[in-house]
């Protein structure tokens, strides 16, 4: 095998390996993004419920005052 062929083969091997690692990292990042989205949604729901309770209490106070 000539030096040029070996370099081309090695380049393809390294390129394939880098692409594989990049795809794995992308998958991990997407999984983390989904987990954060779920947490944010849960926190948002808790905040909405909390604000709903406060709105109910504050409207009662206004009526009673």
Q: What is the pLDDT of residues 12-30, one digit of tens each?
A: 999 999 999 999 999 999 9
- Cα separation, 11 vs 25, in Å, equals 21
What is the pLDDT, as a whole number, of residue 39?
A: 97
* Low-confidence residues in the chain, pLDDT < 50: none
What is the pLDDT, as a whole number, of residue 60?
A: 52
Q: What is the pTM of this model?
A: 0.63
What is the pLDDT, as a whole number, of residue 64?
A: 56
Euclidean distance between the first and final Cα of the chain, in Å? Answer: 93
């Amino acid at each position: 095998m000539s030096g040029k062929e070996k370099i081309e083969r090695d380049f393809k091997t390294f390129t394939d390996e880098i692409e594989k690692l990049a795809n794995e990292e992308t998958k991990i990042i997407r999984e983390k993004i989904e987990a954060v989205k779920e947490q944010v949604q849960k926190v948002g729901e808790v905040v909405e419920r909390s604000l709903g309770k406060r709105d109910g209490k504050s409207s009662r106070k206004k009526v009673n005052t």
